[in-house]
Amino acid sequence: MSLPVRTTPEADAHIREIDSWWRGNRPASPELFVEELTAAFDIVGHAPHIGRLYRQSPIPSTRRVLLKGTGYHVYYVPLAAEVRVLAVWHARRGVGPPLRAS
């Protein structure tokens, strides 16, 4: 059984910004970010506990998975009825994203 993967408004904003930047700056692979993100959503929907626990989060049970080709992390919380994506954030930023349970 697969859980639906739903994004918060903050994660939606991150995704739009990243996708726009990626398409404008990576002409050799403009679809890579969206393809990796789609694959990650499929994986966490099927296996919600696959990501590493992100202990710096103020939200219990926050996990993250790395999109290896693009270097972004997807921060999410597995819940009983869904997987909620809180943020998509580049690993090189040095600090994690500000997380809220919206």
pLDDT at 91: 74
Question: Could you report the per-residue pLDDT of 23-42, keeping only the tens digit for each?
Answer: 999 999 999 999 999 999 99
Confidence of residue 81 (pLDDT cuts 50, 70, 90): very high
89 vs 71: CA distance, rounded Å? 9
100 vs 102: CA distance, rounded Å? 6
The better pLDDT of the pair 67, 100 is held by 67
pTM for this entry: 0.93
Tokens representing 12?
Answer: 């939606």
Look at residues 42, 41, 56, 55 and name the one whose alpha carbon lies nearest to residue 88: 41
Is the domain spanning 5-93 CATH 3.30.2310.20? The answer is yes
pLDDT at 101 over 70: no
